[in-house]
Chain A
């Protein structure tokens, strides 16, 4: 039986008067690829931020393999095995590609500062293993020839892949990707899709993505959750979501019938 990797129960996050995430329930099972979709401002990234510890939710509970994570500092959550990428790429710009990945491995390394001054055998061994692993990851994301390039000098696509490699460096059990194909052309998007699938199969990890590109979402996801105004309005496999009336309304606006039936609904600002 597959276990539940992430269990989100009744999570609410408010910013002043705005409820960004409103009583969301979501279960992500192990080794699955799930997507969270929704119009702009629906609360997808906020939900990500709650899970990865950037925000502490006001209400509700988030469990990671049955251990509660809400309220923990981000580095502890990373250590437990949740890694993420960012909507707007956030690499350590002055550091090279290899160094970025080495920082990613930080939580899996143990040498203290004294050891790094003394260069004792344990430190040297750990360091060389880490460098070897960093190059492996670079090869995996296809950046081997840019290993010593500072991150700010990398082309856009390479930066996205490096961010992924950095997230993978901490050996995560769950990988959360915030719009991994944003700004990519169709060819790159297709590559990224294949890459995400391969990632799940070869590294055997659970993947959650936020994505706007429906081809990606429908192509890779086994489960899709739809958020709108902070609420989860639908959940299911791609075919279910495609035919779900509320999802269509959230994206395209209500049909005439819908307007008549649900007058109270606020006019979506994305329309």
Chain B
């Protein structure tokens, strides 16, 4: 009991500090506005102080709620009364801190102290909002009430769902029944059925065809970016995820692909204006050759050394592109404009067309990456990742396979680069900063090293989610960073870790019809 109380107190204090921190950086106000957007109500108390400041109260309640949830000690299995007390203690601790802060800034504000010199997010208006447009004392009462109330509710709700409670038992029996009825095995065997599979594929295909029409050009742009990052991620996944070579200058191949395509198709500075598809092919080839040229001298390096050398390579390419030396060739810092766009039925590609093309290429990329992974080549790569020395002594020509991984990875990047340049109709050196390499590496790591669904998921989380978080404006990166940290703690192997393939022992020659399945 003593332990749980201590825990409640500690977490209450932590949440109190976090809440104060949110107020200091102005996040509380932004979050309240967001809640308002979601719930569809606007805090109009500034117009009429009699109206409750609902959104802020909701946010306060949420904070209290989380305090209560966190304070509940799962393994202790406390009684209902104990839970009540712990929630109360945690809420009280958090509330006292917050109230102290509110009273302080409220009264100082009333005396006309301007915080904005040091805390730009804590102007008089914001403070008025934080004290619900009333007196600090009245606001303090509300904070105490809501934080403690919701903290207790939070604790009680965890208790409600914890093992042994009636709700939990009911849920479990429900789960058992439904899962038994669904029967995972039947589902799996149904998926193996050819007709079911084809039907499913048709549904997905139809969805993929119509979605770009439905969700509009803004989402086509965002999803296009996600698709380009999936392609990049697939390529880097071959290099880092499969063969285990930490290449940090991956953006170089992306840049080379984009610039090759742009220079071959734009009217300026070379006026080649080649056939688009041919240019795309050449862009892929040039990236691949760049991969070979880079790989040959450096792939004998291992681990950290390789990372540093490739890091340098990525920057060298960007700086060369924008240098005076190559201005005649690359147009320097101005970049290349009017990059060629493909035609479809005599008309310029629309955003929908691009989306379709990108989807197709992503599918093709996934197909290639998947088949490579489960082959002699893929196994050779993974063995290199696991233990390069032994892999070589087991007969794998490690150098050749590392080069191959780099070439294929570079080809993916080249393709992504060409599409990127074409879709944006522009390409400039600042599109290819180190951050691109880091982002792609994050896509691979967050998704799960070597995992293909992981790459897709990672690209959505890293490129799609920031767009969804656009509402948070200034706090977007903050929220995003926090999310990444939490995710890596909760799922250190990535969102969708790789699973090793299962092999089925081939039947003896005389009884072909009954394959023996080998179970673990």
Chain A positions near chain B (C-beta within 8 angstroms): 52-54, 73-75, 77-79, 83-84, 86, 90, 92-96, 98-99, 102-104, 106-109, 111-113, 116-117, 119, 123, 126-128, 130-132, 134-135, 144-150, 166, 170
Q: Which of A54, A77, A109 contacts B389 (CB 8 A)?
A: A54
Quick check: B377 and A145 within 8 Å, CB to CB? no
Interface residues of B in 354-370 (CB under 8 A from A): 367-368
Quick check: B503 and A98 within 8 Å, CB to CB? yes
Interface range on chain B: under 10, 10 to 19, 20 to 34, or 35 or more? 35 or more
Q: How many A-B contacts if CB must be within 8 Å? A: 131
Interface residues of B in 362-414 (CB under 8 A from A): 367-368, 371-372, 374-380, 382-383, 385-387, 389-398, 404, 408
Q: Which of A90, A94, A116, A127 contacts B500 (CB 8 A)?
A: A94
Cβ of B40 under 8 Å from chain A: no
| A96, B395: Cα distance in complex, Å | 18
| A83, B379: Cα distance in complex, Å | 19
Question: Which A residue sits closest to B373, measured CB to CB?
Answer: A116
By Cβ-Cβ distance, the 6 closest A-B pairs, closest first, are A107-B395, A116-B375, A92-B386, A78-B395, A74-B393, A113-B377
Q: Which of A104, A116, A134, A145 contacts B503 (CB 8 A)?
A: A134
Question: Which B residue sits closest to A119, measured CB to CB?
Answer: B371
A241 to chain B, nearest CB (A): 29
Question: Which B residue sits closest to A111, measured CB to CB?
Answer: B376
Chosen A-B contacts, 19 in total, with CB atoms closer than 8 Å, are: A52-B393, A54-B393, A73-B397, A74-B392, A74-B393, A90-B389, A96-B500, A96-B502, A102-B376, A102-B379, A103-B379, A103-B380, A103-B396, A106-B379, A108-B395, A111-B375, A113-B408, A117-B372, A147-B518
- CB-CB under 8 A from A99, the residues of chain B are 379, 382, 500-501
Q: For the complex, would chain A's binding face be called helix, strand, loop or mixed by DSSP majority?
A: helix
Point out which of A113, A132, A148 has the most chain B C-beta atoms below 10 A from its C-beta: A113
Question: Which A residue sits closest to B397, measured CB to CB?
Answer: A75
| A92, B379: Cα distance in complex, Å | 10
- CB-CB under 8 A from B505, the residues of chain A are 131-132, 135, 144, 147
- CB-CB under 8 A from B391, the residues of chain A are 92, 103
| A116, B379: Cα distance in complex, Å | 11
| A147, B519: Cα distance in complex, Å | 8
A134-B503, A147-B505 given as contacts; is B377 within 8 A of A92 (CB)?
A: no
Cβ of B119 under 8 Å from chain A: no
Quick check: B395 and A116 within 8 Å, CB to CB? no
Cβ of B81 under 8 Å from chain A: no
- CB-CB under 8 A from B519, the residues of chain A are 145
| A90, B391: Cα distance in complex, Å | 10
Quick check: A109 and B376 within 8 Å, CB to CB? yes
| A104, B503: Cα distance in complex, Å | 16
Question: Which B residue sits closest to A129, measured CB to CB?
Answer: B506
